[in-house]
């Protein structure tokens, strides 16, 4: 075998001509898993897919703790949802949708309750409806996205976005993921002074506390392992960081509030019986009546959920799919319609389960970064969520500070797409720049996509090339302008 260079910083083993065998080597018959998921065809292996699935689950297991908190607010009647039922609903919906994404879509994408959707349900919708009515809106927005997929419109929109904007979306997702990790770890804080910098390095511009130190050690450890080309670097880093957190917490006896969410300790009992009390408790059209939000307010809420769910997931699928090498030279992914269908159905499935709308998680990139390339990784991730129906107390053993380190690592990996953008072409560079920076700076994926699309069309029109973007991009521009104008329009109409 001769080791030859492929691209800077990488090499590849290929047989030299002198080493070529005189007769074809015997080929080992492919297993059912290999054939069904096309593992070898995508340059992966069974072990890599299993490892990638575990890595993704460990990076997003925090949702089992956070989503019940987000949906813990009262509805207009003062009713609070049961915490145990919310945990069950969160695990159930994530398990079903992620397994479907793996088996049907065959892509390494995991789904769970979207934090933006859950936050909107709790703070915007539920105070003016009952919880069953709020989950009814979830089902409706999910079904509407499914209709967009079935009609072929959603795939046309994704394929109609110019390639440089797609690359910029991947970069923006990477920056967004990295910022999420830095904020959740406590490495970056909101600025304490409203007239000072909006963010600071830790509280009061100082890095203090054991959790931040554990995050930093885990982050550096993963970077070193990656630089040494260690297989499973991200999973090894998460496992090692968790063990370190256990040791520190047991020896230093830190107060619970020291950690951002879960305390790294073994639960008293790892087993908890699932409670399916929220399953099917849905009032599909109640929010549109006088006993709910009213027709106008409910329609605006559904439009907002559809738009956010549509483009958040689209950007994530583009970013993670490109990083996984599943996109062609035009940025198009084979089998995209199946993945889009499952993602759309996630809203309806989550609403019926009582866990909020499900969407593709950017944390899927952690498994991709560890080598996952097929739906088998999603099947593994979904299987772990299914196990959490009975072992939910275990979900909190990986501290958010440790999982956050993996997010920062993945963010750095996704920056490689910047090399595909011609930064000397202002007509492309400016929309790409706005797409990249507005995702993390606004903490809103849809805002970044919208800014990129609007600026691209505006610049083309302003330079006399108004035909070049095509009708679809013009329609998207109009939709995004409505999106940005929603708040003043609602104020004008007196809508909540």
The CA distance from 312 to 443, in Å, is 11
* 232 φψ region: left (φ > 0), alpha (ψ -120 to 50), beta (else): left
pLDDT digits over 112-122, tens only?
998 778 877 88
Is residue 229 scored above 60 in pLDDT?
A: yes
- Token pair 């027709």 is found at 295
The CA distance from 361 to 316, in Å, is 7
Are 355 and 115 contacting, i.e. CB atoms less than 8 angstroms apart?
A: no
**pLDDT computed for residue 383 by the predictor:** 97
Q: Find residue 112's DSSP bridge partners.
A: 359
Is residue 483 scored above 60 in pLDDT?
A: yes
**Nearest Cα to 94, choosing from 74, 73, 128, 118?**
118
Task: State the pLDDT confidence band at 12, using cuts at 50, 70 and 90.
Answer: very low
Cα-flanking dihedrals φ and ψ of residue 22, to 5°? -80, -20
3-class DSSP state for residue 430?
Answer: helix
The CA distance from 395 to 397, in Å, is 6
Are 45 and 33 contacting, i.e. CB atoms less than 8 angstroms apart?
A: no
Residue ranges of alpha helices (H) inside 354-444 are 364-369, 375-387, 400-414, 426-442
Average pLDDT over residues 117-145: 90
Q: Which residue has the higher pLDDT, 134 or 202?
A: 134
Q: What share of the chain in percent tops pLDDT 90?
A: 40
* Other beta carbons less than 10 A from residue 63's beta carbon: 24
Q: Find residue 12's DSSP bridge partners.
A: 4
**pLDDT computed for residue 365 by the predictor:** 87
Token pair in block for residue 380: 């593994």
DSSP class of residue 259?
Answer: S
Going 163 to 166 to 172 to 178, the CA torsion angle's sign is negative
The CA distance from 72 to 162, in Å, is 41
DSSP class of residue 74?
Answer: B
Is residue 10 scored above 80 in pLDDT?
A: no
The CA distance from 70 to 304, in Å, is 18
CA angle 353, 62, 274 (to 5 degrees): 40
Task: State the pLDDT confidence band at 494, using cuts at 50, 70 and 90.
Answer: low
Q: Find residue 3's DSSP bridge partners.
A: 13
Cα-flanking dihedrals φ and ψ of residue 362, to 5°? -65, -20
Are 441 and 433 contacting, i.e. CB atoms less than 8 angstroms apart?
A: no
Are 334 and 326 contacting, i.e. CB atoms less than 8 angstroms apart?
A: yes
**pLDDT computed for residue 5 by the predictor:** 45
Are 352 and 280 contacting, i.e. CB atoms less than 8 angstroms apart?
A: yes
The CA distance from 415 to 396, in Å, is 30
Q: Which of 21-35, 160-174, 434-448 is least confident?
A: 21-35
The CA distance from 339 to 320, in Å, is 12
Is residue 373 scored above 50 in pLDDT?
A: yes
Mean pLDDT, all residues of the chain: 85
* Other beta carbons less than 10 A from residue 42's beta carbon: 16
DSSP class of residue 31?
Answer: P
Cα-flanking dihedrals φ and ψ of residue 256, to 5°? -60, -35
Is residue 462 scored above 50 in pLDDT?
A: yes
The CA distance from 3 to 1, in Å, is 7
Token pair in block for residue 437: 């920076």
Average pLDDT over residues 372-385: 96
Quote the radius of gyration of the chain (alpha carbons, Å). 23
Length of the chain as a residue count:
496
Task: State the pLDDT confidence band at 133, using cuts at 50, 70 and 90.
Answer: very high
Average pLDDT over residues 20-26: 48
């Amino acid at each position: 075998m001769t080791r030859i260079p492929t691209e800077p910083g990488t090499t590849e083993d290929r047989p030299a001509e002198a080493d070529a065998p005189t007769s074809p080597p015997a080929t080992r018959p492919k297993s059912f898993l290999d054939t069904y998921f096309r593992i070898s065809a995508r340059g992966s292996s069974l072990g890599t897919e299993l490892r990638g699935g575990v890595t993704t689950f460990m990076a997003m297991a925090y949702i089992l703790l956070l989503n019940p908190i987000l949906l813990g607010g009262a509805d207009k009647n003062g009713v609070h949802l049961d915490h145990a039922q919310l945990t069950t609903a969160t695990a159930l919906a994530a398990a079903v949708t992620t397994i479907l994404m793996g088996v049907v879509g065959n892509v390494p994408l995991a789904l769970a309750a979207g934090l933006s959707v859950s936050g909107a349900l709790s703070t915007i919708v539920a105070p003016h409806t009952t919880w069953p009515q709020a989950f009814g809106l979830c089902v409706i927005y999910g079904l509407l996205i499914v209709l967009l997929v079935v009609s072929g419109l959603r795939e046309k929109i994704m394929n109609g976005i110019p390639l440089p904007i797609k690359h910029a979306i991947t970069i923006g997702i990477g920056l967004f993921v990295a910022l999420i990790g830095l904020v959740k770890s406590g490495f970056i804080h909101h600025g304490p002074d409203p007239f000072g910098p909006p963010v600071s390095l830790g509280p009061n511009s100082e890095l203090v506390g054991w959790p931040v130190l554990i995050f930093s050690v885990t982050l550096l450890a993963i970077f070193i392992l990656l630089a040494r080309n260690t297989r499973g670097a991200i999973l090894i880093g998460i496992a090692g960081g968790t063990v370190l957190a256990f040791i520190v917490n047991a020896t230093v006896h830190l107060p619970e509030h020291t950690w951002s969410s879960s305390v790294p300790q073994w639960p008293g009992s790892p087993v908890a019986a699932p409670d399916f009390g929220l399953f099917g408790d849905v009032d599909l059209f109640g929010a549109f009546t006088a006993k709910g939000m009213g027709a106008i307010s409910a329609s605006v809420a559904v439009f907002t959920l559809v738009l956010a769910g549509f483009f958040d997931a689209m950007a994530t699928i583009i970013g993670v799919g490109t990083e996984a090498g599943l996109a062609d030279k035009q940025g198009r992914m084979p089998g995209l319609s199946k993945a889009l269908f499952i993602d759309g159905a996630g809203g309806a499935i989550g609403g019926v389960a009582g866990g909020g709308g499900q969407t593709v998680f950017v944390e899927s990139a952690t498994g991709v970064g560890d080598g996952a390339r097929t739906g088998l990784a999603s099947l593994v991730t979904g299987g772990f969520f299914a196990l959490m129906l009975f072992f939910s107390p275990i979900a909190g053993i990986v501290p958010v500070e440790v999982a956050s380190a993996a997010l920062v690592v993945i963010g750095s990996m996704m920056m490689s797409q910047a090399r595909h953008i011609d930064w000397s072409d202002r007509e492309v560079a400016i929309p790409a720049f706005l797409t990249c920076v507005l995702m993390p700076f606004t903490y809103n994926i849809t805002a970044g996509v919208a800014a990129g699309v609007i600026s691209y069309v505006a610049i083309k029109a302003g330079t006399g090339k108004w035909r070049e973007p095509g009708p679809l991009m013009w329609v998207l521009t109009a939709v995004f302008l409505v999106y940005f104008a929603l708040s003043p329009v609602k104020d004008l109409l007196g809508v909540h």
